Amino acid sequence: MDIELVVKIGSMALIRREDNDIDYNLFARLSGELRPGMALVSSGATEIGRLDYLKRTGQELHGDPDANKTDYAAQGQAILMETYRRFVRPEYSVRQVLVEHNHFNDPQKRRHLRQLLSHCAQQGAIPIINYNDAVSDEENRKLELMLMQQAHPGEQVVECVDNDETAAVVSELMQVRQMVLLTSADGIYRDPKDPSTLVRDVFAHSAEELTARVRELQTHCVGASRAGANGAGAKLEFALRSALQGVTVTIANAKRCRLSDILAGQVPCTRIGIR
């Protein structure tokens, strides 16, 4: 057995914004459907850490936003993993996998990560993958990426600070056929204010045709669900990257849909791929 499905869930899908709290019902529903052979890329550590700090102190952190993000992520990571462990079926193990860009850009580390994820599938474990925000320093990361690009001109260098990109890179690494991006919306809209404009299928018969269709759809994408997020346009960019590698990508609403129903095509969503 190997990893067959990569699922990514965004930060805002994991919380009840109106209550400033974790959405435990969503955690329970999603975690209960996870099985060996699936890899979950989960955002949420920073936002959950922020909510936990606010709950304990009555105020948010002040000062440098990047430093605050580091502190919140370190606080939220433990809560994120504890919550998944609580709801994943007890016969399955749960393994935290914190990644950074160099784990994918270095061939030896990439092989090691692939072996780790393969072992999860073979040993009855669910890998919960997240970018390691608690040790990420943007200035150092940008410098490292620049040096990598200079040392290997023409090769694609990944950053992975956006977990949509992390999910895409993991999908390529494990050569999966399906990837699901869970968000707080039903998919991609031509008009975000009009639910009837949901685009259900973005399929094409060639890489060129699919790229053109996605580029046109990106012109309709505006805004993001929270400060610091890259929005639907970036989500489509990473979805396209995976689709061009033969992955069928589904963008669906985590709040309203069960994973099994999404995979069965029984709910409103956006699907992207080459036929």
Domains of the chain with bracketed CATH: 5-274 (3.40.1160.10)
Rounded to an integer, what distance in angstroms lies between the CA atom of residue 185 and that of residue 195? 10
- pLDDT at position 227, please? 46
- pLDDT at position 117, please? 97
Rounded to an integer, what distance in angstroms lies between the CA atom of residue 265 and that of residue 250? 9
Q: Are strands 188-189 and 198-199 parallel, antiparallel or unpaired?
A: antiparallel
- pLDDT at position 225, please? 45
Rounded to an integer, what distance in angstroms lies between the CA atom of residue 85 and that of residue 71? 22
Rounded to an integer, what distance in angstroms lies between the CA atom of residue 24 and that of residue 196? 29
Q: Are strands 15-16 and 5-9 parallel, antiparallel or unpaired?
A: unpaired
- pLDDT at position 134, please? 76
- pLDDT at position 142, please? 55
> Among 84, 83, 95, 86, which residue's Cα sits nearest to residue 124?
95
Task: Show pLDDT as tens, one digit a residue, over the chain (275 residues).
Answer: 799 999 999 999 999 989 999 999 999 999 999 999 999 999 999 999 999 999 999 999 998 888 899 999 999 999 999 999 999 999 999 999 998 877 777 889 999 999 999 999 999 999 999 988 777 665 555 545 455 565 666 666 655 568 898 999 999 999 999 999 999 899 999 988 898 999 999 999 999 999 999 999 998 886 544 444 457 888 999 999 999 999 999 999 999 889 999 999 899 999 999 98
Rounded to an integer, what distance in angstroms lies between the CA atom of residue 18 and that of residue 4? 35
CA 52 remoteness from chain centre:
22
Q: What are the structure tokens assigned to 35, written together?
A: 């099985």
Per the CB < 8 A criterion, the answer to whether 40 and 158 are in contact is: no
- pLDDT at position 182, please? 96
- pLDDT at position 37, please? 97
- Write down the H helix ranges in 157-229: 163-174, 207-218
Instruction: Say if residue 217 is exposed, middle or buried (CB neighbours under 10 Å; 0-12, 13-18, 19+).
Output: buried
- pLDDT at position 148, please? 56
Following CA atoms 110, 157, 274, 215 in sequence, which dihedral angle do they give, to the nearest 10 degrees?
A: 150
- pLDDT at position 275, please? 87
